[in-house]
Amino acid sequence: MTVAVDLGTTQTGEPAELDLEELLSTRLLVQGNSGSGKSHLLRRLLERSADWVQQAVIDPEGDFVSLAERYGHVVVDANRTPAELTRIARRIREHRASVVLDLEGLDAEVQMMCSAAFLNGLFDADRAHWFPMLIAVDEAHLFAPAMSGEHSEEARRASLGAMTNLMCRGRKRGLAGVIATQRLAKLAKNVAAEASNFLMGRTFLDIDMQRAADLLGMDRRAAERFRDLETGNFVALGPALSRRPMPIRIGPVETAGRSGRPSLMPLPETPREAMEDLIFTATEEDKAAERRAIERPQSNAAPRIEGAAAAIATRELLERVAAAPSVSERHEPIDDDPRSPEERAAAVDAIFAEMLQDPDAAFRPVPVLYQDFLTHCRLKRLRGAETDMAAFRRRLSLARAGVSCETDDEEWQGVVDRAADLPEEMQGVFMMLARAARDEAECPEDAALARAYGSHSPSRGRFLLSFMAERGLITAEADFRGNRVVGITGTDWRTKLPQVKLDAADEARARRAARLARG
């Protein structure tokens, strides 16, 4: 089935059409300096193809959210954890919803990490949900930079890897990338090179003109024409557009972005004296703000601290784990939270419960989980000791094992103190065994112990038992059936043997043995 998307008109006045089915197999690259009409072109393409194919728009400036009202796109606020964005992306593919990922207001590094998580979720969807989908990425050089710059290397790698997967391997999964950039020199070459269709707009720099001419198969002299293109005019080439370079003019659109072209407007006709009063005279709102600042000196500092944390959130999430200083070297956390310690602890408990609802959470690396945890804490405005890396590791090991810090019991507190002799990732497993022994429950199976440790391998559970037994923290015995009994050293706590269900023959033998014993 061939669907022709009307992009506008050619120089001769004929319709300039794009073969949508061919585009899904060959991808599209749009290039043009700021103000050349790239966003207008993307909007025209998305509007004209909205009824034919599922769409997702990576929108760094919030310009495309207006598609929701006219064409039913779902707006996804990117201010979420990476795990949440990945799950949302998988459900989007499952239910074939057209969406706009709104990244407006986020720090550049956070935008890169959020887009990477979202694209990876689309890419890793189940094979049964590999439906055709158009992925439009505006300002693609932000997500696939040609060189490392002011952003962290981890954020750049994550974002570039997701964009490379989209353009290089997305076709087999039904994903067709449509990427727009201001400068080809800023865009990673392995991302740009995978596009087979091109729409080149107005360009002034020689290096960008030459790259555009090379992609279109034009000589150096012909490249000069890119300087003369008007806003909304592009040169098209590709199997979905034209076999030869063809100038086209993009047609009108039905929706509008939040940020249009700047236009001149007259200045206000306010006299100079009146303007001075407006500028220099404090309003009642200003006076009230000053009074609040005097009454609560820290109230003005908190937003700045929080803003700084948001600005470096991704760098902290990825680098703080590897280079975390010791607890004694850290500055005392600023604790201006009006909530009580019990309320903050309850908030942290809720975060852990929400994180561990994901069945894959038990096997994800601790630094990745810590990244999700800090994002949750930032959203709930939690700071201080609750967000410390060491505290997080201890809480995670306990949460994975399904135990809580029950410190009211003196004997239990002694067990908690002995657990401190183990590596942090093993403490939760030890507490899991201690709880089962105290409750006289059956000893957890090897797979359960391994899962609490964060491993898929049951043999890891057996290793943990032998490791703790060698250090005298537990005793481990087995009956003649191989059932395990674990005791906690220093207490009389022991797990019980599992209840063995006898079949009819076993029950008959047991009754016969009992009669013989009675004589």
pLDDT in tens, 29-71: 998 888 888 889 999 999 999 999 999 999 998 889 989 888 9
Which residues are CB-neighbours of 433 under 8 A, at least 6 positions away?
Answer: 443, 444, 449, 468, 474, 486, 488, 495
- The answer to whether residue 226 scores a pLDDT higher than 70 is yes
Strand partners, 10: 248
Is residue 335 in a domain?
no
| pLDDT, position 517 | 54
Q: Which domain holds residue 419?
A: 388-519
What is the mean pLDDT of the segment spanning 505-510?
Answer: 61
Is residue 331 in a domain?
no
| pLDDT, position 327 | 35
Q: How many helices (H) and strands (E) are present in the chain, helices listed first?
A: 21, 13
Domain boundary among 220, 250, 280: 250
First to last CA, the chain: 89
In CATH, what number is assigned to the domain containing residue 246? 3.40.50.300
Is residue 271 in a domain?
no
Which of 453, 456, 478 lies closest to 464, judged by CA? 453
Backbone angles phi, psi at 290, to 5 degrees: -65, -40
Q: How far is CA 10 from the centre of its chain?
A: 41
Both tokens assigned to 9: 């008109």
Q: Between the CA of residue 261 and those of 36, 43, 163, 439, 468, what are the distances in Å?
A: 10, 15, 29, 70, 68
Is residue 283 in a domain?
no
| pLDDT, position 105 | 83
- Mean per-residue pLDDT over the chain, rounded: 77
Is residue 437 in a domain?
yes
Number of domains composing the chain: 2
Higher-scoring residue by pLDDT: 516, 470: 470
Distance from C-alpha of 425 to C-alpha of 427, rounded to nearest angstrom: 6
What is the mean pLDDT of the segment spanning 396-401?
Answer: 62
Domain boundary among 218, 250, 282: 250
pLDDT band, residue 407 (cuts 50/70/90): very low
With a pLDDT cut of 70, the percent of the chain lying above it is 76
Is residue 316 in a domain?
no
Range in 93-102, 212-221, 226-235, 396-405 the model is least confident about: 396-405
State which amino acid sits at residue 53.
V
Is residue 451 in a domain?
yes
| pLDDT, position 88 | 92
Is residue 447 in a domain?
yes
Q: What is the pLDDT of residues 346-388, one digit of tens each?
A: 777 777 777 767 666 655 666 667 777 777 777 777 765 555 6
Distance from C-alpha of 322 to C-alpha of 71, rounded to nearest angstrom: 45
In CATH, what number is assigned to the domain containing residue 403? 1.10.10
Higher-scoring residue by pLDDT: 357, 486: 486
Residue 469, CB half-sphere, CA atoms under 13 Å: how many?
A: 12
Domain boundary among 201, 218, 250: 250
What is the mean pLDDT of the segment spanning 179-202?
Answer: 86
